[in-house]
Amino acid sequence: MATSRSQNLRKCACAPRNSFQVSPGLNVVNVDAMTSLCFLRRAVAQFQALSRGRPYSTEKLRDPLPSRRNPNTFGNLSQETNAVRIALSQLPEEEGDVEKVEFIDGVVGKTRMPTFKYSRLIKKLIDKKKLKEALDVLDERMALERAYPDRYTYNLLISGCASQGYTKKAFQLFNQMKKRGIVVSGGTYTSLMNACANSPFPSDGLTRAIGLRELMKEKGHDPNERTYHAMIKAFGRCGDLEQAFSVVDEMLERKKLVSNFTYNFLLQACAANKEAGFRHAVMVWRKMLSRKIKPTIYSYNLLLRCARDCSLGDISTFEEDLRGMVPPPRKVNQQVEGGLNKGPALIASSTLNTTNEDLPTFPMTNLPSVSRVEVGFPNLLLPHPGLESFVSLKNLKQPWQRLGIIGGSNGFLQAMTMSQTPPDIKTFTLLLEALPPTLEAEEELIRSMKNNKVKLDLDFCNLLIKKRAMHFRFDDAKKVMQLILERSLRPNVVTFGVLALACKDFSDAQELFEKIEDRGYRVNVEILGTLFLRASQNYDLKMMRYVLSKMRQEKIKPNKKFMSHINDFESAVGKHLLKVADGEKQPGKIDQPSFIENYEDLSVILKKIKKTDIEDSEMLHPWNQFKQSKKVASGSVH
């Protein structure tokens, strides 16, 4: 009975003021808007009497408008309304009034968040490169709080694992998605292919990529262009160039858009093939021109990578490809059919051979002057490659020789100007690595940078120092420091690391340490290892002693590479000492009488260093930084 009355009172309090409908059980009649306040007061009084167990009296109450008695009072409507609210708040709670809150582990106040808040937290951690912490949110926190991840949560984590090469965990999350019955989207497959591409173990990444492609076919999934591009990157980086080209053939069969992005991923795949990547890159480039697709700055930079790092492969096959580029004796309308064929063996076949009539022409404006060294060289980047001046492929073993058949440095920049693609600093950095090791070529490249309004940066200067030092041009390498100061650049640790390659003797090493201290830097094991290598090559025991004393002074532990330098030096000295004992004369310092005595003192120090524990990042497993405890890993599926 009390419950029904309290329900009626709640309805009365929420009803409009101009029409109140009340139950006859409360002995209250219908009232109009002018007497609504009096009705509310009576209802409250009736409820209070009933709750106290007292009989309710219908005696007439006081005037509901006290303002009639006190001229200074302008009404008490707010006071009366507050009284009604207080009375209603004192009513006993009914079933369904209180929202049920589920507490985790029975702890009051410990509730789970909505799934999207977990996803938001995971995304913030991934953006900060904190992959382990992001995985802990899924495997620890959400498991503890019994929260259920959705597809977006899994896609975030799979994408984060893919960007950092944690392939194994990415596929574990993929299997969890399938066990939970979560529908896999195209973005999931794209991220998984990226995980295969970034895997530190190419064989494992290739096996997973092939299996994933077969799974997509079984499921009837139709990949989009982004997924296809990730597949090309995965197969290319993992060393299966044939699969990469077959993906493009599949794109053409399914009438997918093959754009300059597609060809850029193909050039990436070619750059990963060190044996014959340059030949495939040239043929991909000619095919791109035949399809009237304009190269981008990434296309040019990737082709330079191929010229720097990759060889030609089978010379006879490449010669056949070049013959296919020569125009026929009379004009014939040729139609390029099909795609990129089945794999790299067929990419050089007749369907890829393009003549000059197939290729677009570009407006020739503001062309840079061609160096006299490069006159007569063919340029396979241009619609008319000029193969008449080409002689032989047998001498194309060095990067600058491969650069020569795509125009050399000036011819390459000329092709970029014709396609209206301005070079950037990365273009000139790659050109520097592919140039012949001469001062004339390097200075001409720096002038070209100025003509193209590209600012010289510190990375370019560091590479220039390294290039000159590796070819034993130590004085030219040291002159680059003057160039750095003229451009108001600040040397960094890498700068001093490459300058260590230019140190010939003890005085050079001492001068380098002084420069490092003046700049506020601290020597590292890489710089010390480089100096030790230079000293061991010259059998300079004084310089080696100085380097080892600096290592002990700075409390730096040797790494694996430093230990290999010590072993190589001891092995070389042992061989020379045997020859000296047999009466053979050895050139250099090792033939001096004092060398053996000084070497015996130094060998004591070297033996102590070899007993030191080393911690080398190369010896650590690349996935150890992301691993969690066994307890978490075993209970991750919740």
Structure tokens at 223: 């990949």
- Domain residue extents for the chain: 2-89, 115-239, 241-328+337-455, 503-638
Instruction: Round the average pLDDT of the chain to a whole number and report it.
Output: 78
- Angle at which helices 541-554 and 506-518 cross, to 10°: 30
Structure tokens at 298: 């990434």
pLDDT for 231? 96
Contact 82, 13 (CB under 8 A): no
Please state which of the ranges 73-87, 135-149, 225-239, 338-352 shows the lowest mean pLDDT. 338-352
Domain 115-239, classified CATH 3.60.21.10, yes or no: no
371 pLDDT tier (thresholds 50, 70, 90): very low
20 pLDDT tier (thresholds 50, 70, 90): very low
CA angle, 516 as apex, 514 and 521 as ends, to 5°? 140
Per cent of the chain over pLDDT 90 is 44
Residue 389 or residue 180, greater confidence: 180
CA–CA dist 233, 269 (Å, integer) = 6
Around Cβ 196, how many Cβ atoms within 10 Å?
30
Give percent helix, percent strand, percent coil of the chain, each to the nearest 5. Answer: 60, 0, 35
Contact 229, 194 (CB under 8 A): no
89 pLDDT tier (thresholds 50, 70, 90): low
Structure tokens at 594: 């004092």
CA 615 to chain centre: 26
Residue 358 or residue 419, greater confidence: 419
Buried b / exposed e along 466-497 (16+ C-beta atoms within 10 A): bbbbeeebbebbbebbeebeeeebebeebbbb
Q: Is the pLDDT of residue 30 over 90?
A: no
CA–CA dist 20, 22 (Å, integer) = 6
CA–CA dist 467, 476 (Å, integer) = 10
CA–CA dist 403, 309 (Å, integer) = 11
320 pLDDT tier (thresholds 50, 70, 90): confident
Q: Is the pLDDT of residue 361 over 60?
A: no
pLDDT for 70? 55
> Of 161, 156, 163, 173, whose CA–CA distance to 119 is shortest?
156
Tell me the C-alpha to C-alpha distance, in Å, between residue 169 and each of 84, 138, 165, 239, 387. Answer: 61, 12, 9, 22, 51
Tell me the C-alpha to C-alpha distance, in Å, between residue 115 and each of 120, 146, 180, 206, 591. Answer: 9, 11, 15, 34, 75
CA–CA dist 48, 319 (Å, integer) = 106
pLDDT for 540? 87
Tell me the C-alpha to C-alpha distance, in Å, between residue 147 and each of 23, 111, 183. Answer: 47, 10, 18
Place of tokens 């260093």: 609
How does pLDDT run across 555-568, given as a tens digit for each residue? 888 888 899 999 99
The answer for residues whose C-beta is within 8 angstroms of residue 345's C-beta and 6 or more apart is 242
> Of 405, 415, 338, whose CA–CA distance to 377 is shortest?
405
